[in-house]
Amino acid sequence: MDALVVVANPNPASYGHALAAAAADGLGAAGHTVTLLDLYADRFVAAMTAAERHAYHTSEPILDPQVAASAELVQRCEILVFVYPTWWSGLPAILKGWLERVMVPGVGVRFRPNGRVAPGLPHVRRIVGISTYGSPRAYVAGVNDNGRRTLTRALRMSCGWRARPLWLGLYKMDARTDADRAAFLTRVRDRMARL
């Protein structure tokens, strides 16, 4: 299958980038064709513009070639993998903005004549989230993992319920040893190789 790995991390030498590389490695080992999309490296613009907001319900909601390129990717890839640090229980702004600007009508959603929303990406089979958290797992459960909800509920509705979510998280990052981090990299690679 075609797999898209979206990484949202400001530092190109980050652990998050290592995780994305491990995920790509694993997916490649499983025989999938992998495209890596590095939002910071591409200088992806997070905020939807007024012009894009006006165009949202027209037949041409995409105005930016960078957004069109991402739209083409999600319309082709059956595996969507998101690698990001959880900030304030949610997605970093750049990744939230990518969802908002890319998953527009005609891509992420289709509007039926009665105004109801239908999935725009029914070909997607897996939604994978790989995230690091400052907080312990219990705290994340208490405040709710809203980034995970955005990807495994909201985005999943765009893909239809046949898209199965998979979550891989590393919690309490500040307390993690090098051995912990290496072990999680291995776990990510191995799990993707079995996808």
Partner 1 sequence: MNVLVVYCHPDPGSFVHAVLERALAGLAVGDHTVRLTDLYADGFEPTMSPTERATHADPGVGPELQRYADDLAWAEALVFVYPTWWGGLPAMLKGWIDRVWVAGVAWELPEGSAVLRPLLTDVRRIVAVTTHGSPKRINVLEGEGGKRTLFRSIRLMCSRRTRTTWVAMYGVDTASPADRTTYLGRVERVLRRL
Site string for partner 1, 103-142 (x = CB under 8 A): x-----------x-x------------------------x
Tokens found for residue 95: 């990744």
Stretch that binds partner 1, among 4-12, 163-171, 177-185, 187-195 (CB under 8 A): 4-12
Minimum CB separation from partner 1 for residue 190, in Å?
28
CA dist., res. 128 & res. 23, Å (int): 10
Element (H, E) at 184: helix 178-193
**Interface residues for partner 1 in 149-178 (CB under 8 A)?**
149-150, 153-155, 157, 174-175
CA-to-CA dists, residue 12 to 20, 36, 84, 103, 122, angstroms: 11, 13, 12, 25, 32
Stretch that binds partner 1, among 20-28, 75-83, 95-103, 119-127 (CB under 8 A): 95-103
Q: What are phi and psi of 130, to 5 degrees?
A: -125, 110
Q: Whose Cβ is closer to partner 1: residue 88's or residue 190's?
A: 88
Task: Supply angle C-alpha 149, 160, 106, rounded to 5.
Answer: 100
Element (H, E) at 189: helix 178-193
**Interface residues for partner 1 in 6-25 (CB under 8 A)?**
10-12
Enumerate binding residues for partner 1 (CB under 8 A): 10-12, 40, 46-50, 52-54, 87-94, 96-97, 99-100, 103, 115, 117, 142-144, 146-147, 149-150, 153-155, 157, 174-175
